[in-house]
A and B are shown apart, each in its own frame.
Chain A
Amino acid sequence: MNFSPTKEQQMIRKMVREFAENEIKPIVEEMDEEAKYPYETVEKAAKLGLLGMPFPKEYGGCGTDYVAYAIAIEELSRVCGSHGVIVQTHCALCCWPILTYGTEEQKRKYLPDLLSGKKLGAFGLTEPNAGTDAAGQQTKAVDMGDHWLLNGTKIFISGGGIADVYIIMAMTDKSKGTKGISAFIVEKGMNGFKRGKKENKMGIRGSIAAELVFEDCKIPKENLLGDIGKGFKVAMTSLDVGRLGIGCQALGIAQGAFDDTVVYMKSRKQFGRTLDKFQALAFEMAEMKTRIDAARFLLYNAADRRDRGLPSSVEVAQAKLYASEAAMYVTTKAVQFHGGYGYIKDYPVERRMRDAKITEIYEGTSEVMKMVISGEIFK
């Protein structure tokens, strides 16, 4: 059990931190205010290899371990939660399922562009009536002989309208329940596929969440991803990878809020002394630091298990559950310790609190995480 980062992991942290501080920090306020997708910084991140880290070099990835990937998502999120989720969603929910379930042709067709960032990836599972109850898919894919015909709607899709390649889950045989769901690779611009409503969100406003509408959308036969009826498995296993990323996003958001609060408390004076001299506040900061570091080790453990080929669904559920709750706790306290200034947009801490909330919800709510963990305890 080695708890020290490797040389590579240390350098990755340094590089991503510098990149985030110098390139992302200056644009974050405007991005958040206007809910603008940060095309330029995502492209810069792609050029450094950040959109293809834990993927084989053979397909254009960087071949890093998942712990290094976790560190990268954390450091991006420390400055901006939107950038963290943009990178992790692209990697975990689009690149990973194609790598894992794709035919050689599909891998060679899609991965080089995705891993280099030339194309962006997204994932469509959620529907108006199928959120946590993901098995209730109503989007239908009908076998028309020489193509599939897709009809239905997806909502809250991260990267909706922005991404070029989408992994879309659809019902191919309603009688088979979850085993009647299949996964498809759908490309932007395919006939009958369009972006619907763009959501106006509380936080992570640089990450666009939108409705996807399929109206008699013709999909080539060869775009079925994995075997027919295996779509639910594709979705669930991909979400396992996504949960690591979201946990790291939460960790980064918490760390960023914490770091800002330390600086604030060392300079803000009330009653003749700086806030760090008030024990009640300092003790709470000790509590916050402990929870952040606990989240960190839960996440790295899950990532390390993945690197070693060990099952990690339960561990990653624990990590995401803990990290997202820690992020809400830390960011709420961070706003509190900034006092009135914490409530004002001039300070970045309120944005972090708004960004943190979603980590308890998407890619599996905290309740779902508890289902996974308790399911393991009482199996």
Chain B
Amino acid sequence: MNIIVCVKQVPDTNEVRIDPVKNTLIRDGVPSILNPDDANALEEALKIKDENPDTYVTVLTMGPPQAKEMLAECLAMGADEGILLSDRALGGSDTWATSNALAKGIKKIGNYDLIFAGRQAIDGDTAQVGPQLAEKLDIPQVTYVKECRISGKDIIVKRALENGYENIKIQMPCLLTAIKELNNPRYMSVLGIYRACRQEVSVWSAKDIAISEEEAGLEASPTNVFKSFTPAPKGKGITIEGDTPKEIISSLIGKLKEKHII
């Protein structure tokens, strides 16, 4: 079985700061990590590989050269191959242009039964790339997968909804997006690390994936980041004081009644 996992290297948003003058993310010195939902996607692919050792897991990403480090980590977790789509022409891509590039990359890889992606990236938070990719590859998709098992040529998944879940049977080849409830991503192993460091990651340019200028990068992006900013603080709020819990609760209820909340 051939699985492609689409991953993204993102700044660790726990540490991110906004430049007060330029209103953009300060990426310098902020550690980069494998996007958490993508780690869940990779873990699920690796779990399938644990059960079926002749499964081949390819990890694909679009990003700057430093994304090679993240791919090395994916290999150290157990992936078989890593591919980086990297080119100046691909820079500034929004989700639409990104999914164009990834789709072209996947077409170049060729054979696949399953594509796994994370639900969304912690820097963009759009959750658009997975679904766009499925449409461009013309394959069925299920998003928000919280449980998954292979059943012959199909996959049975549980799709998380706000107030429940759906049981869906989907035919391969297909695309699934993973949420954090799907699994607990494994750590890199010692042997995995040493193996990954001996392995080369393939780097493909825009030319290698035959993507045209109209489909790639900033120019091909129908959406643009207009402004990034820290919202103005709402105000300190009121600390409710009192000598006993009963008193504090009484005071709280009084205030909620005043505001007609209860």
Proximity bits, A260-292, B CB within 8 Å = 1, else 0? 000000000000000000000000000000000
Which among B187, B189, B197 is the interface contact of A8 at CB below 8 angstroms?
A: B197
**A1-28: which have CB < 8 Å to B?**
6-8, 11-12, 14-15, 18-19
**B183-241: which have CB < 8 Å to A?**
187-191, 193-194, 196-197
Write the nearest CB–CB distance from B12 to chain A, whole angstroms.
12
Q: A7-B72, A11-B73, A15-B76 are in contact. Are A62 and B187 (CB under 8 A)?
A: no
Which among A14, A50, A63, A72 is the interface contact of B194 at CB below 8 angstroms?
A: A63
Collect the chain B residues with CB atoms within 8 Å of residue A47's CB.
Answer: 189
Which among B187, B194, B196 is the interface contact of A64 at CB below 8 angstroms?
A: B194
What class of interface size applies to chain A in its complex with B? 10 to 19
Task: Tell me if A48 is interfacial: C-beta within 8 Å of chain B.
Answer: yes
**B142-201: which have CB < 8 Å to A?**
187-191, 193-194, 196-197
Task: Tell me if A53 is interfacial: C-beta within 8 Å of chain B.
Answer: yes
Collect the chain B residues with CB atoms within 8 Å of residue A14's CB.
Answer: 73, 188
Q: CB-nearest residue of chain B relative to A44? A: B187
Task: Tell me if A180 is interfacial: C-beta within 8 Å of chain B.
Answer: no
A48 touches B189 (CB 8 A): yes
Collect the chain B residues with CB atoms within 8 Å of residue A226's CB.
Answer: none
B188 touches A8 (CB 8 A): no
Collect the chain B residues with CB atoms within 8 Å of residue A15's CB.
Answer: 76, 187-190, 193
**A145-201: which have CB < 8 Å to B?**
none
Measured in the bound complex, the distance between the Cα atoms of B194 and A11 in whole Å is 9
Task: Tell me if A49 is interfacial: C-beta within 8 Å of chain B.
Answer: yes
Collect the chain B residues with CB atoms within 8 Å of residue A62's CB.
Answer: 190-191, 194
Q: CB-nearest residue of chain A relative to B193? A: A11
Collect the chain B residues with CB atoms within 8 Å of residue A49's CB.
Answer: 189-191
Residue of A11, A14, A47 most packed against chain B (CB within 10 A): A11
Measured in the bound complex, the distance between the Cα atoms of B73 and A72 in whole Å is 17
**A84-107: which have CB < 8 Å to B?**
none
B contact patch SS: helix
Q: A11-B196, A12-B193, A63-B194 are in contact. Are A18 and B72 (CB under 8 A)?
A: no
Measured in the bound complex, the distance between the Cα atoms of B56 and A232 in whole Å is 51
A64 touches B197 (CB 8 A): no
Measured in the bound complex, the distance between the Cα atoms of B235 and A88 in whole Å is 52
Q: CB-nearest residue of chain B relative to A63? A: B194
Which among A6, A7, A18, A64 is the interface contact of B190 at CB below 8 angstroms?
A: A64
Collect the chain A residues with CB atoms within 8 Å of residue B188's CB.
Answer: 11, 14-15, 48
Q: A63-B194, A64-B194 are in contact. Are A11 and B187 (CB under 8 A)?
A: no
Collect the chain A residues with CB atoms within 8 Å of residue B191's CB.
Answer: 49, 62
Collect the chain B residues with CB atoms within 8 Å of residue A7's CB.
Answer: 72, 197
Measured in the bound complex, the distance between the Cα atoms of B191 and A285 in whole Å is 37
A18 touches B187 (CB 8 A): yes
Which among B72, B190, B196 is the interface contact of A48 at CB below 8 angstroms?
A: B190
Measured in the bound complex, the distance between the Cα atoms of B191 and A53 in whole Å is 9
Collect the chain B residues with CB atoms within 8 Å of residue A48's CB.
Answer: 187-190
Write the nearest CB–CB distance from A202 to chain B, whole angstroms.
32
Residue of B189, B191, B196, B197 most packed against chain A (CB within 10 A): B191
**A219-270: which have CB < 8 Å to B?**
none
Measured in the bound complex, the distance between the Cα atoms of B187 and A213 in whole Å is 40
Measured in the bound complex, the distance between the Cα atoms of B73 and A8 in whole Å is 11
Collect the chain A residues with CB atoms within 8 Å of residue B72's CB.
Answer: 7, 11
**A37-57: which have CB < 8 Å to B?**
47-50, 53
Collect the chain A residues with CB atoms within 8 Å of residue B197's CB.
Answer: 6-8, 11
B76 touches A11 (CB 8 A): yes
Write the nearest CB–CB distance from B68 to chain A, whole angstroms.
10
Q: CB-nearest residue of chain B relative to A57? A: B191
Measured in the bound complex, the distance between the Cα atoms of B96 and A273 in whole Å is 49
Write the nearest CB–CB distance from B128 to chain A, whole angstroms.
29
Measured in the bound complex, the distance between the Cα atoms of B189 and A6 in whole Å is 16
Write the nearest CB–CB distance from B36 to chain A, whole angstroms.
12
A53 touches B190 (CB 8 A): yes
Measured in the bound complex, the distance between the Cα atoms of B76 and A62 in whole Å is 13
Measured in the bound complex, the distance between the Cα atoms of B196 and A53 in whole Å is 16
Measured in the bound complex, the distance between the Cα atoms of B194 and A12 in whole Å is 9
Collect the chain B residues with CB atoms within 8 Å of residue A19's CB.
Answer: 187
Collect the chain B residues with CB atoms within 8 Å of residue A18's CB.
Answer: 187
Collect the chain B residues with CB atoms within 8 Å of residue A11's CB.
Answer: 72-73, 76, 188, 193, 196-197
Q: CB-nearest residue of chain A relative to B77? A: A15
Measured in the bound complex, the distance between the Cα atoms of B198 and A6 in whole Å is 12
Measured in the bound complex, the distance between the Cα atoms of B192 and A64 in whole Å is 11
Q: B residues near A, CB below 8 A?
A: 72-73, 76, 187-191, 193-194, 196-197
CB-defined A-B contacts under 8 Å, sample of 9: A6-B197, A7-B72, A7-B197, A11-B76, A11-B188, A48-B187, A50-B190, A62-B191, A64-B194
Which 8 residue pairs are nearest across A and B when measured between Cβ atoms?
A49-B190, A62-B190, A15-B188, A11-B193, A7-B197, A48-B189, A8-B197, A49-B189
15 further A-B contacts with Cβ under 8 Å, apart from A15-B76, A49-B189, A63-B194, are A6-B197, A7-B72, A7-B197, A8-B197, A11-B72, A11-B188, A12-B190, A12-B193, A14-B73, A15-B190, A18-B187, A48-B190, A62-B191, A62-B194, A64-B190
